[in-house]
Amino acid sequence: MSAAAIPHDHSHTDDHAHDHHDQSFIWKYVFSTDHKVIGIQYGLSGLLFLLVGFFLMMLMRWSIAYPGQPVPGLLFLENLPLIGGVFHDVIGRWAPGGIVNGELYNMLGAMHGTIMVFFGIVPLGFAAFGNYVMPLQIGTIDMAFPKLNMLSFWFFFISGVLMMYSFFSGTGAVQTGWTMYSPLASTTGLGVDNVWNHGHTWWLMAMVFNISASLLGSVNFITTIINLRARGMSWFRMPFFTWAMFVTAFLLLLAFPPLEVAALLQLSDRVFGSSFFLPTGLMEGGQHLDISGGGSPLLYQHLFWFLAHPEVYVLILPAFAIVAEVIPNNIRRPLWGYKSMVYSALTLGFLSFLVWAHHMYLTGMGTMMSTYFQITTVLISVPSVILLTCLMISLWGGSIRFNTQMLFASAFLPMFGIGGLTGLPLAFNFIDLALHDTYYVIGHFHYVVAPGTIFALFAGVYHWFPKLTGRFMNDKLGRLHFWPSLVGMNLVFAPMFIQGMAGFHRRWYDGGKYFEQTSADWLWLNEVMSIGAFILALAQVPFILNVFMSIKGGKKITNDNPWDATTLEWATPTPPPHGNFTFDVSAQRGPYEYSVPGATEDFTPQWADEKGKPAAAPASTPAPAHH
Amino acid sequence: MDIPFTVSARPDTGLYNAKLGIWLFLASEVMLFGGLFSAYIFLRVGADYHWPIHELPVLPGFVNTMVLIASSVTIVMAWASLKLRRIFQFKLFMAITVACAGVFMVLKGFEYNAKFHHYSVELQDGTILTGHLPQGYEIKFGEATELSLTIQSENAAMDANPVKYVFPYLEGEAPAFKLADGSEIRLDKAGFSKLKKETVAAAREKIEKRKQELVEAGKKGEADALNVVPPTTVKLTAVSPMKFSVKPSKTFGYTAESITFKDGTVVKGKLLDDRMTLEVDGVDARSVADKEKSLAWEKKYLGEDWKKVFIANRDHAQHEFKEKYGDGRDPLKSATLQKHSYFMHIHSTTPSDHAPEGAGHSASNEAPAAAEGGHGDEAHGHHPTVVLDKKDISFFSNFTPKLNTYYAIYFTLTGLHGLHVVAGALVLAWFWLCNGKLLKTNPEHLANRVEVGGLFWHFVDLVWIFLFPLLYLL
């Protein structure tokens, strides 16, 4: 890496914090162009959306376990002053007598998927952690395009508002699953003359903004990583976190446009009456629709899954990113196989574009196609396994500190393992034909994203919280958060494999009661899973309390590097000021130099000048500015 | 505190930030248009109808291609001029570039507009008649006295709103209506909203009353469960009969006795007329098994004389094909021959005026263009008029995305491309007109901006270079 000096003056470093002291609150915290503020904005909205998605899921789980029984508290909520009316418009008007019916269940299902994927995990994992941590890790002052970064968040914000508004629209939110398969999604409620009265229109518009937001974000991420790395931060000195964000950004950049195409074509089908996804002779309610036909429902699925499969890796790569930071830090050993992890992430990114049609084995697209996608799907498990194995081997012989983030990170490994390994059978089309659309599939991908990704996100929150606020989160509450979460997650998702193999379909709003002759043996599991979901809900209370209480009341950190970490984000003052670093930052060595033989400390930070010398706390004793 | 490498390139990557950013953005754009091009291939390969070929006017498309290529040259000239600090030339070339975008969009506008006024009607046997609708297409419905409105008490997708969805299609003034209790109301905006308010209030009151009864009977749980107020259907009788003329697309459907409007309002009466008057400028019999028995040749429609012209036209096309290719090509496999043989374009009101050679293949490329060009009313005089029975029509549409998947993808691709042209032109116009300060203080930075904008502009041009052959020529 050549010396790419950052051409700005460091002679009055102390002024960095005061550069923008005349900014009003609005410009500093609301319309901010600072990557850290934007990261926090993304983080808070992501957590909020996770909570919303979780609440929708609770209603679904109630309906599954106790079909036809009124949801406790639903009528009470409706009769509350002020929010009661709003709640009635969102949920209540679809639940006569407080009972979740099939229609409402479909809305909940579609919106749970949409919100969790596009508004919860991606913004939290990629946008929030990526925005906050990545520029710090590569030692730069901000993202390459700060204004676009702000625009990205506000596009995301608008898309969230539009998506939430769809609940209030005349037809209610969409009911056609988060995948919006045509022709169903192209034709439901087509009679509604005013398109603004249809939740689907709002869904599609929200997605357009969401896609624009992630497009701006990903361009920004890639440019920043390529062009703004600090002196000495060569490609293989970048922490794995940054690498994973780099790959994720490419996935978002290249995979989202086909979804935009799918959304545009579907919008055209609905608004202009075209037949992109509508076959000839399509009938509804015993009548031919007033359409030309000649289109292909399969085309929609191809376009959709071309996005949605890479999207899966958009969900999981940030999780690996976080875990790969938390684990070396808490085992006091280097990350085992750092380079193979990097290459695996790159391979994973590349292969993720070649596997999409394994979601479509059941469509009859042809055996050659199925065979091809079966091969690529099996191939992609190789880099995933390498990633997981490297993290596992890293643990070997480490002196592990089991703080909260490490608990979550170490639970991530087996949980993701279960999710990944149960996916292997699904890669084979002959097995998938039987398991398609059953709870087995639901169990599989929820193990990947719920106890997998979400646990990693929690680990990240506990890990970087001290950098954000200067205070630790409470460890006892953390444990109270972790253990019930672990139990709850497994109670919810493990029985799904059993039910799935017994043939339970994913879209039964009564959990299979209607098919009692065949489903009776395993119906009781519905209740177990719903209780698990309830435990999971309770387990989040300590977390929420912990976050808010620790901002002001947590234990104060004693230096800027409270976890004795090695990567550059810990070289900044706490919290990092506008402009981030108070000294001329450069990377002297690789990212995971823990327990270097001969060193006095068990960690050698990337910014430390000389190998073996104890790391100076840079914020208190800033390196002399030089040019 | 500035972001590094906004103006100068980073030595080891050789790029300034914006240039890297625009290339990434273009990669994303490639995926966007790549998705659409794939959709085009997918739809064309899987089409179960005769994929339209050579239907678009080639000349304006070709001119547009040249215009865009020229603008790609001028944007480079603008950038180079700025680099050399030749400010006048810079501004001149920017102006030409933006003007080219304007020309492109205007031509596109003419092309679109012609399609909106040109119709295609598919008959039950698969024959397609193209032409213009001199009076539009509306059904007539009369002797209507009974109106039933479904008034929703909750926020719903569809709610009775006769003022917006029913009365606009009424001929003459809306009459007064009698309610079930004999009282008389007028359904103007105020009258209807009063009726609606009262109906909703009554429905709510009914629920409240029922709740009260249940509570008194000691069934509080059941009372609480009544949280959704059901809709009410109100029946109204008009004091004098009404007559409607309405496009079928503005209704949910109709029978001989009733018609359902888009707000769910049902009107009872009598269907008077639902035939369609079409000035035919083309007969496409490619999808008919026995072309000579097509519905189009029935006496009530075009008749035997036009059939003779059709046959002459077909024989002429097939003869020419044979002369041109001998046995070298299978006539059944030539989509072009199929079109020339079985898609007859009509340029005169009567068969005797029709010049068969003019309808032959030599003119068929331009013929639809001319027909679509339409030039308003004067073209209408040149075509025979037929009155089609509703039962013979299986589908009709103007040349919009609804017509078939070809026009759907045509409008999507060119529309999206047009949006890119407009957006690109706006950005370039911004650099040209509103960046005067930057031009003085940091022309190098402005040159970077123009370069980045130019890269986008080249991409837009490149997309068109793919679109033109794909949609116009192949």
Tens of pLDDT, residue by residue over B1-59, are 689 999 999 999 999 999 999 999 999 999 999 999 999 999 999 999 999 999 999 99
Of B346, B369, B398, which residue sits at a domain end? B398
Residue B271 inside a domain? The answer is no
* The two three-digit tokens of residue A368, written as one number: 């050659």
Q: Which of residues 379-418 of B touch A (CB under 8 A)?
A: 395, 397, 400-405, 407-409, 411-412, 416
Write the pLDDT tens digit of every residue in B384-403: 999 999 999 999 999 999 99
Which CATH number belongs to the domain containing residue B110 in this structure?
Answer: 1.20.120.80
Q: Decide: B261 and B166 in contact? Cβ < 8 Å.
A: yes
Task: Please report which confidence band the pLDDT of residue B447 belongs to, taking 50, 70 and 90 as the band edges.
Answer: very high
What is the pLDDT averaged over residues B54-71?
95
Whether A220 and B42 lie within 8 Å, measured CB to CB: no
Nearest-CA residue of chain A relative to B16? A227
Q: How many CA atoms lie within 13 A of B277 on its CB side?
A: 8
In a domain, B45, yes or no: yes
Mean pLDDT, rounded, for B316-325: 91
d(CA A286, CA B73): 57
What is the overall mean pLDDT for chain B? 90
Q: Does residue B133 fall inside a structural domain?
A: no
**Is residue A429, in this structure, part of any structural domain at all?**
yes
- Say if residue A556 is exposed, middle or buried (CB neighbours under 10 Å; 0-12, 13-18, 19+): exposed
Where in B45-187 does DSSP place strands (E)? 119-123, 128-132, 139-151, 176-178, 184-186
Q: Is residue A575 in some structural domain?
A: no
pLDDT score of A274: 93
Q: Is residue A489 part of a domain?
A: yes
Interchain pair A257, B405: CB under 8 A:
no
Domain count, chain A: 1
Q: What is the mean pLDDT of residues B408-434?
A: 96
Question: Which residues in B195-265 belong to E strands, given as ranges?
Answer: 232-246, 251-254, 258-261
Across the interface, whether the CB atoms of A8 and B2 are under 8 A apart is answered yes
User: A472-530, pLDDT tens digit by residue?
Assistant: 999 999 999 999 999 999 999 999 999 999 999 999 999 999 998 989 999 999 999 99
Question: Which residues in B lie closer than 8 A to residue A171 (C-beta atoms)?
Answer: 156-157
Contact state of A228 with B17 under an 8 Å Cβ cutoff: yes
> Are residues B288 and B211 located together in one domain of the fold?
no
Alpha carbon of A299: minimum distance to chain B alpha carbons (Å): 7
Q: Are residues B424 and B346 in the same domain?
A: no
Q: How far apart are CA A126 and CA A123, in angstroms?
A: 6
Question: In 3D, which of A36, A98, A94 has the Cα closest to residue A69?
Answer: A98
| Structural domains counted in chain B | 3
pLDDT band at B66, cuts 50/70/90? Answer: very high
Q: What is the DSSP letter of B291?
A: G
Across A168-190, average pLDDT? 89
**How many alpha carbons fall within 13 Å on the CB side of residue A128?**
26
pLDDT confidence band for B474 (50 / 70 / 90): confident
Tell me, yes or no, whether A97 lies in a domain. yes
Same domain membership, residue B238 and residue B149: yes
Same domain? B391 vs B409:
no
State both tokens at B33. Answer: 């248009």
Write down the pLDDT at residue B381.
60
Q: What is the CATH number for A390?
A: 1.20.210.10
pLDDT above 70 as % of chain B: 94
The H or E element that residue A524 is part of is helix A524-553
Closest CA–CA distance from residue A422 to any residue of chain B (Å): 31
- Do B87 and B32 belong together in one domain? yes
Chain A contact for B228 (CB, 8 A cutoff): yes
A280 vs B49: CB contact, 8 Å cut-off? Answer: yes
Q: Which of B225, B249, B263 is nearest residue A98 as measured by Cβ atoms? A: B225
Answer yes or no: is B469 within a domain.
Answer: yes
Assembly ipTM: 0.91
Q: How confident is the model at residue A27 (pLDDT cuts 50, 70, 90)?
A: confident
Tens of pLDDT, residue by residue over A437-466, are 999 999 999 999 999 999 999 999 999 999
pLDDT tens digits for A44-93? 999 999 999 999 999 999 999 999 999 998 988 988 888 998 999 999 99
Q: Is A414 exposed, middle or buried (0-12, 13-18, 19+ CB in 10 A)?
A: middle
Please write the tens of the pLDDT for every residue from A568-578: 999 999 999 99
pLDDT digits 0-9 by tens, A192-212: 778 888 999 999 999 999 999
Residue B107 clears pLDDT 70, i.e. is over it: yes
Residue of A339 and B134 predicted with greater confidence: A339
Q: Which of B12, B210, B260 to mutate to test the interface with A (most CBs of A within 10 A)?
A: B12
Rounded distance between C-alpha atoms, residue B333 and residue A495, angstroms: 58
pLDDT of residue A6: 40
Range of the domain at B381: 277-398
Structural domain boundaries enclosing A325: 32-280+292-553
Facing B31 at nearest CB: one of A75, A222, A257: A257
Band (pLDDT 50/70/90 cuts) for residue A19 is: very low
Mean pLDDT of chain A: 90
Query: pLDDT tens, B333-380?
Result: 889 999 999 999 998 888 877 665 444 444 444 444 444 444 444 444
Is A300 part of any domain? yes
- From B372, B398, B424, the end of a domain falls on B398
pLDDT, tens digit (0-9, with 9 covering 90-100), for B84-93: 999 999 999 9
Residue B125, in any domain of the structure: no
Residues B407 and B393 in one domain: no
In a domain, A619, yes or no: no
Select from B21, B25, B402 the Cβ nearest to the Cβ of A292. B402
A6 found inside a domain: no
Residues B379 and B297 in one domain: yes
Q: pLDDT confidence of A611, banded at 50, 70, 90?
A: low
Q: Which residues pair with A312 in a beta bridge?
A: none
